[in-house]
Structure 1
């Protein structure tokens, strides 16, 4: 009797991962939810973090009685009310299990999650669908994360901008800031 050949399991940068959420991501999501932080803050925290992609069993074929003959494991895409598809991701095992207790968590860098979403034809990466704070990374932010974008951080000798709203710029969210800038540019071009 010969022993079966040994297979090596590839190492992962998350070998010691206990499934808890990255405190930076949790803080950024909580601040966003309270209206004290913007989507840019969440994206910055996500860029350096890891997410859990849920993997679920999917029946590939069934027999005449309806019993599964073959099963595959797959990541989960969901479709929003607006018809866009999003790849699900979670910050921690607890949030993933609130959504589906039988899903298996697969830890990946956020960049890999964004790459997978784009490869699967998704328009968003939907984070913590079951809460406590749900956040969607839409294009072009999804493409930025997939390309390895990282925030620059503060520049030495440059003071941080005053977060108080001015004109039509909202206090939270980079998207609102850019919409305000585009509106002003459009007005200037029309005149």
Structure 2
């Protein structure tokens, strides 16, 4: 997300108006919200919207940045939990619920994951990979999550559940069921 402090006051105001309009429209219509409607609702022209956000994905990053930062803060809090596997599971469930109820978040992350270039450190995808990766590594070091499980595996699973349900309690239940599959098989 760009540092808006360096923008002229009118440009900063336009940026903030666009983001506010986009937050409202994405909540109503999802990730495929009309960019023209967002520009109209913000009281700016289409060119102004595209000057600030050269792609739909760039706009979605701004829309979801604060929500994703909250999920990352939760991961940092859970990173010191006594039970690493439970901390990871709790965070994955929170991510699934959030993705299912924040219309467009899961679709946005999925679109971001398809980009050929690696995500920059300011993208929602990178932020979630980084925050969740710390929880995953800790659980793997404790031997409570299989070593071949990757953060990409877990984010794909959570996104799939979120996209399939768009219902928080159902998403939480499905992720809980899937989490059983990431633990090591008991010795026979």
Q: TM class, shorter-chain normalised?
A: 0.3 to 0.5
Query: What TM-score results when the alignment is normalised by the length of structure 2?
Result: 0.33
Higher relative contact order (CA 8 A, sep 6+): 2
Higher helix share: 2
Higher strand share: 1
Higher Cα Rg: structure 1 or 2?
Answer: 1
